[in-house]
C-alpha cells in the first residue's frame, strides 16, 4: 500500500532541478556558439542563470523524489519534460542528448528487470 502512495507523488521539484540543468546547458551552448568565450556573454548568461536559481529551492525534495523514478511512468514523465524543456540552437546536439537520455532510461529499465529477477531467484 505504501509503495502505491509513493508512485502517486509529484516530481515537480525534480522537474525544476532538471529544468535548471537544461537552462545551464542551453547557456553554455549559447556562450560557445561562435567558438569563443567572451566575458560579456558569460556575465549575461551567468546573470540569467542566477535569476533562474529559484528552481533549486526544492533540491532536498528533488533528492527524495528521485526514488520515484523506479516507476517507469514517472521516469517517462521526466524524460518527456526534459525533451520539452531542453532547447538549444544545434538541433543535432539536442537530438543526440534526447536520444542518449532515452537510451539511459531503457538501460535503467533493463537493469531493474535484472534486479527483480535476482530477487525472485533468491526468494
Q: What is the mean pLDDT of each run of 10 residues along the chain (123 residues)?
A: 54 95 93 90 96 94 91 91 90 90 86 86 81
How much is the pTM? 0.76
- Asked if 86 and 22 count as a contact pair (C-beta separation under 8 A), the reply is yes
113 CB-contact burial (10 Å; exposed 0-12 / middle 13-18 / buried 19+):
exposed
Q: Who's near 37: CB < 8 A, 6+ residues apart? A: 31
53 to 21, 23, 57, 78: CA distances (angstroms): 10, 10, 8, 19
pLDDT at 109: 83
pLDDT at 8: 57
Q: Which three cell numbers stand for residue 47?
A: 546573470
Amino acid at each position: 500500500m505504501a509503495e502505491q502512495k509513493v508512485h502517486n507523488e509529484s516530481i515537480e521539484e525534480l522537474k525544476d532541478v532538471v529544468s535548471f540543468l537544461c537552462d545551464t546547458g542551453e547557456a553554455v551552448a549559447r556562450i560557445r556558439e561562435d567558438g569563443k568565450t567572451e566575458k560579456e556573454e558569460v556575465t549575461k548568461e551567468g546573470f540569467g542563470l542566477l535569476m533562474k536559481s529559484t528552481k533549486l529551492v526544492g533540491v532536498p525534495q528533488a533528492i527524495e523524489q528521485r526514488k520515484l523514478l523506479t516507476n517507469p511512468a514517472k521516469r517517462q514523465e521526466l524524460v518527456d519534460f526534459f525533451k520539452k524543456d531542453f532547447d538549444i540552437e544545434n538541433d543535432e546536439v539536442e537530438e543526440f542528448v534526447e536520444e542518449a537520455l532515452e537510451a539511459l532510461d531503457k538501460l535503467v529499465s533493463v537493469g531493474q528487470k535484472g534486479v527483480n529477477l535476482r530477487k525472485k531467484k533468491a526468494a
